[in-house]
Structure 1
């Protein structure tokens, strides 16, 4: 019973598919050593031709190279199959060639007699031409494309990885999509590398085909004359025709497979299959067809030329141009023409409250050339990205911000855009649809031709380039992004920088209502019994001002409920909340459980600042101007040193000084994070990597 169960499992459909590959390889290798009858040779030669045709058709209908990632393996298997058939047919030709032209099967006889008319010289010439086409032209070109593609793909991998990380950080894709893109990038490099190596198989196969033909002819003459006592002419005719038929029946599939390899590695873009691209890009322009038809028609009118052929083709191309012009005209007539609304004189209308329009919290204004990017009717890519940004903001920061109101602004330059917060401009830039921004991350290996600019989000030098330069930019180490990504990344950067200004009373109340669905008693005890809504809003804004997300609202509400009976000052409450969130704050700056490498104040400077703090009001005292300049200068220099070695700029100070220094240093060093000693968990080891002193 167990044996029958094992056999049933072994021959299950899924296992048969798994065993198909090993069985095929074993069968191919067996053909090299086992004698095969002529009928089996016919069957295998026909199978070889069928497989090569299938591979070429799959290559033509493949939209991108990775859709046929198994092609290098297919190339190896088909090459091995042809060589095995050559060995098997050579055995039959040498053993049975004296019996007649069908000694090695009907397929070889057909290729040796009917395709070349039984003429040895013609067959030899055709075989050599096919071999040269395969070896010198197609295989060499496909191998060169694969070699260059592999080199450029490997050089472009760092830039592509950075572009994926940029899309992930901007919220344009999620972690699952980022992993998928990283895997595709790695597979693409592996594919071109494998194709570069696999093309050597085909070149070796072509050389082996020539050598096998020479060996068969010489060996056939020796066997026919010496062993079977045939006349030299008869032996030469029999064995040469059999050898040529054998060579042609092997070289034809090899040529088809080589063409398939060239089709796969020479593809550009993934908008459709190769046939659709060919028809769409070569035969879709009526002007090109008209000019070509005119040239052929003129040539057809010259005496002595094959007039009928030229005029026939000219007429066919002219008809295609006429049909294409009709299609373009129909498409143009089908476009809707906007009708202007009647203009009502302003003096005939009374002013009303509808004329008072509220200011949008967040707005994006675009020039007229950027309208297609935000037009829902044209499936604008930027709209999808903005929706992704808003979702990522809610997931990462902890509340749902105001929607982005998009409108066109004819006062802007055609390619310009402007980001507005509560009616005030907070960012501007320019984008060029159809082009790509190549951003210099600081380690590129060469320049690019294009419109020099600056990345609007992070201020890095960049160049606007055409789509044709995209791969070159990747290879040189640039981070390449499209126009929609440029605008979306800039918008995301500004949203994160002004997160606290998006948290109004309405958003705060909506956030508390959301928390109350799971913890109704907790929220009810806090607002409005212990704290007014405005105080809760102020605490949350203080956290957002310093880059602390408010996702852990349960902890925040619990801390506020604990200290609100005796503390009402929002700043003091913010300090208590930060201490409770200390583990998350430090984890966000220093992931993992490693050392916390920070900057610290010189003890003397710390004492001076503590004295200034004690002499001021509840929000801190004043710092002497000279000391303030020195503190700013030393902190900026230390922060730059930390960032140069790949560490975040974090200043560790006593709790009483944290708010004062954070507010004072924020504008001079935007990337600086000021953390209190009490916010660092006891389980984390602290290492002071830079000391800030009061010495000028």
Structure 2
């Protein structure tokens, strides 16, 4: 029986959902049919009453909504209610003109009540009241709500790029997930659509007010003509009957229209808070005791003026003064508690105590952009930089073997409009200017012509470059320039700096995650090496040494195998790094000399190598004159090597590699220093340039 009841409930729910699907089309068809089909007076009474109840419900929903999007269906509701009122106007006009000569209740009890009871049966008073309602609705409420909706829509659209960038920054920072980011983006888009729809929907209400006025005029003129000419009524009787019916019909439509317009004004003029409109008004109007006391004093003075309604003014003065006095008492009690606490602990300072919430942690990687560069990181403006940064991080992880930190992107109004900066652990490591809409033509050194534009340098590698317009792109490519867009410039600069500072981005947490990535298959190897033979900090330092010379640590298994074999004897981190480099020799050589061809490298003169070996055996430092000559000749060798199209690789004796790598790479970042022990046995080595041959 219980299972049958559940199936029945599920069937009822599905049936209800199907009815909801047809509710909108059926309602539109019914509304439009009322304009064509004649309706009896009783049905008109039901529909007019439903219209009044619906307008009150809309007003209450708008009053209790905490933010405009809580009533996101309001523009559609506004359209439906406007169509309903116009359809009722058409249906009631038909009944009034056809049966108005039969008496005041010919068009239904509701129209009769509004025509007789609300205006006392005086059609002149009713006409004035109707015109006043139309003026209030058309000139004040609807016009103001439409203007607010228009301005809100404009400001919402202007604020969308900043909001989208804030969401992307939180997503990149890991503060929110993909689902939350998707929900926030949808909410921002829905907010813009809502205010845009409200701007358009307000035109329906203004048009409805004009239509109500014209329909009433038509009813009065048509009723007079029909009553006098067709039903032989006197002009006075026809005016009394048809004008009252027309006024009642207009009032029964305009009052709900006024309520709906008020609801529209409430919806678009409210602020996004955790309170509804009533709570906001009470909490902000009656919270200041000075305002209440001064208002009460002014009302009391007016109440003492001879000829004024003294009782009413003095009553409100007493009420305001009482409320102000109550607020003063509450404020005094609220201030007494902190004063008592200060008495117990007199050394307490007025300033709040510092807490851990005041500590601002620095971002490992940060990108700050000027306001002109915001479209580059905004999806809605077809900004491609965010996608490029994701690709850069993915490629970095595939090449070097660990996941770099998330790039936190922010706008910075203190920067130049076209300037961006890249920071590492709060310190700036790169800065450049880019110009959206232009292209950067980079001179690789063998261009055959020149292009017009703004001369600059490539921010990543310092090559001469020119900012050009899109129309010169093909010409620059023909001349041999490398032409890239703005997003590629920034992404390339970021990628270059990430590779240069890869060692600084490898922390202990990343090291643990790398070990966890090895899984259960290599768990015995990990347990054998870390921390029994090599502490985690030492393993991290070895990997940092490799990364500092752009050696990938993807082959972590080989690194651990080497440490398992070599770390049994006490050795320092530098010696272990040298052993690991020998084990990774083939992987180190492969990026510079792919395939199995001969390796054309820079070498050292035998006499210079002997002098360096003696220096290493002494105090381990280079004599200043020797260091200067070595640096100068190495720079010249690099120039000849690059001119010949060979990689900037120097091969030295194994014992000399740490010394020369540490000395030369600090000054010549493009130089790669390998040891002879790192070269695989099956590779052919050819020295094409010798350092020290000139003595």
- TM-score, normalised to structure 1, is 0.62
Q: Distance in 2 between matches of 1:525 and 1:110?
A: 95
Match of residue 77 from structure 1: 80
The alpha-carbon deviation at position 104 of structure 1 amounts to: 1.0
| CA deviation profile, 1:337-387 (whole Å, cap 9, x unmatched) | 2677899xxxxxxxxxxxxxxxxxxxxxxx996857x47xxxx6x68x979
1:210 paired to 2:217 = no
Whether the aligned pair in 1 keeps the contact of 2:649 and 2:671 (CA below 8 Å) is: no
| CA deviation profile, 1:454-513 (whole Å, cap 9, x unmatched) | x9877999xxxxxxxxxxxxxxxxxxxxxxxxxxxxxxxxxx989959946x99689868
Q: Distance in 1 between matches of 2:99 and 2:431?
A: 76
Match of residue 559 from structure 1: 558
Q: Distance in 1 between matches of 2:287 and 2:667?
A: 58
Structure 2 vs 1, CA of residues 331 and 627 (structure 1 numbering), >3 Å: closer, same or farther?
farther
1:113 paired to 2:82 = no
3-state SS of paired residue (1:337): helix
1:40 paired to 2:43 = yes
Match of residue 577 from structure 2: 570
1:490-639 to 2 correspondences below 5 Å:
500=504, 503=507, 520-527=523-530, 531=534, 533-542=536-545, 557-564=556-563, 565=565, 569-570=576-577, 573=580
Q: Distance in 1 between matches of 2:112 and 2:588?
A: 85
1:53 corresponds to which of 33, 52, 56: 56
| CA deviation profile, 1:275-301 (whole Å, cap 9, x unmatched) | 111111111111111111111112222
Structure 2 vs 1, CA of residues 314 and 456 (structure 1 numbering), >3 Å: closer, same or farther?
farther
Q: Distance in 2 between matches of 1:673 and 1:221?
A: 102
1:300-379 to 2 correspondences below 5 Å:
300-335=303-338, 337=341, 374=355
Q: Larger Cα Rg: Structure 1 or Structure 2?
A: 2
Whether the aligned pair in 1 keeps the contact of 2:153 and 2:192 (CA below 8 Å) is: yes
Q: CA RMSD in A?
A: 5.4
Structure 2 vs 1, CA of residues 184 and 10 (structure 1 numbering), >3 Å: closer, same or farther?
closer
Whether the aligned pair in 2 keeps the contact of 1:120 and 1:241 (CA below 8 Å) is: yes
Q: Distance in 1 between matches of 2:303 and 2:328?
A: 24
Q: Distance in 2 between matches of 1:630 and 1:100?
A: 112
The alpha-carbon deviation at position 664 of structure 1 amounts to: 7.8
The alpha-carbon deviation at position 527 of structure 1 amounts to: 3.3
The alpha-carbon deviation at position 569 of structure 1 amounts to: 3.3
Structure 2 vs 1, CA of residues 290 and 269 (structure 1 numbering), >3 Å: closer, same or farther?
same
**Number of residue pairs aligned between Structure 1 and Structure 2:** 517
Whether the aligned pair in 2 keeps the contact of 1:56 and 1:256 (CA below 8 Å) is: yes
Q: Distance in 1 between matches of 2:667 and 2:79?
A: 63
Whether the aligned pair in 1 keeps the contact of 2:299 and 2:317 (CA below 8 Å) is: yes
Structure 2 vs 1, CA of residues 510 and 214 (structure 1 numbering), >3 Å: closer, same or farther?
closer
Q: Which runs of 5+ in 2 are unaligned?
A: 1-7, 366-396, 419-424, 433-499, 568-574, 592-598, 639-646, 675-695
2:182 corresponds to which of 158, 173, 179: 179
Match of residue 439 from structure 1: 413
- TM-score, normalised to structure 2, is 0.62
The alpha-carbon deviation at position 545 of structure 1 amounts to: 6.8
1:126 paired to 2:129 = yes
Whether the aligned pair in 1 keeps the contact of 2:150 and 2:196 (CA below 8 Å) is: yes
Match of residue 242 from structure 1: 245
Q: Distance in 1 between matches of 2:235 and 2:64?
A: 50
Moved more, 565-574 or 25-34: 565-574
Structure 2 vs 1, CA of residues 49 and 387 (structure 1 numbering), >3 Å: closer, same or farther?
farther
1:277 corresponds to which of 276, 280, 283: 280
Whether the aligned pair in 2 keeps the contact of 1:138 and 1:262 (CA below 8 Å) is: yes
3-state SS of paired residue (1:34): coil
Q: Distance in 1 between matches of 2:588 and 2:73?
A: 51
Match of residue 431 from structure 1: none
Match of residue 163 from structure 2: 160
2:143 corresponds to which of 140, 144, 151: 140
Q: Distance in 1 between matches of 2:167 and 2:73?
A: 25
2:17 corresponds to which of 11, 14, 32: 14
Q: Distance in 1 between matches of 2:173 and 2:71?
A: 32
The alpha-carbon deviation at position 17 of structure 1 amounts to: 2.2
The alpha-carbon deviation at position 207 of structure 1 amounts to: 1.0
Whether the aligned pair in 1 keeps the contact of 2:402 and 2:510 (CA below 8 Å) is: no
| CA deviation profile, 1:414-451 (whole Å, cap 9, x unmatched) | xxxxxxxxxxxxxxxxxxxxxx997367559xxxxxxx
The alpha-carbon deviation at position 64 of structure 1 amounts to: 1.2
Structure 2 vs 1, CA of residues 201 and 512 (structure 1 numbering), >3 Å: closer, same or farther?
same
Q: Distance in 2 between matches of 1:198 and 1:264?
A: 13
1:341-490 to 2 correspondences below 5 Å:
374=355, 439=413, 443=417
| CA deviation profile, 1:119-166 (whole Å, cap 9, x unmatched) | 111111111111111111111111111111111111221122122222
Whether the aligned pair in 2 keeps the contact of 1:526 and 1:560 (CA below 8 Å) is: no
Moved more, 78-87 or 567-576: 567-576
Whether the aligned pair in 2 keeps the contact of 1:171 and 1:389 (CA below 8 Å) is: no
Moved more, 169-178 or 148-157: 169-178
Q: Which runs of 5+ in 1 are unaligned?
A: 344-366, 391-395, 402-435, 445-454, 462-495, 587-605, 633-651, 677-696
Structure 2 vs 1, CA of residues 389 and 248 (structure 1 numbering), >3 Å: closer, same or farther?
farther
